[in-house]
Structure 1
Amino acid sequence: LDCLKPRGLFVSFGSSSGPIAAFDIGLLVQKGSLFATRPSIAGYAVTRQDLLRMADEMLALVKGGKIVSEARQIYALKDAAQAHRDLESRKTTGATLLLP
């Protein structure tokens, strides 16, 4: 929380590094009216139609070059077992691709 500016936003997304320790919500006021959220796709895509619409919108942004993702790890499909081991042991960051 100390790294946020006043009215900053703290987002807790995923839990690969384990649960966040409990904290006094009053700290959000003391540190400058901070905001905290824990988003979930279930809160945005309530129906299958919502999910499909959102996927279409996101894929259009990817096709249009507005969202670009660079793979940090690329594995041949024959090395899929190693890719899984690396993912499970948290040796990867960002996007990982398996190529045929």
Structure 2
Amino acid sequence: MLQQVSSEHFQSLMKQHCPLHLPDGSRLPTRIEAIELRPQARLPENPRIPFNVMLRSLEPTDFIDGLCSLELPQLGRIDAVFVSREPPQGRDPALGYFNIVFN
């Protein structure tokens, strides 16, 4: 299923709420902040252009990283998506800033 996910699936969700289903079963409200295409990382045999999705939590969280699930309108629930936390770097340190890499 992850191979079917493309950056276009996230375009309609830009700046909208997209809850993450965390490994412990809880839901973390997040907002999609940016989508970054990574064409230089594309393998010749793979037609999909790799991309990153940047998320911001809408409430404080201790979640660091792990395999999560999320809902995409065109594909439904996507499981086993690895989400990693990034440092706040001048942003609100109480919130979580996350990155998802789709290669």
TM-score by length of 2: 0.20
Q: Larger % of strand: which? A: 2
Indicate the structure (1 or 2) with the bigger Cα radius of gyration: 1
* Greater RCO (CA < 8 Å, at least 6 residues apart): 2
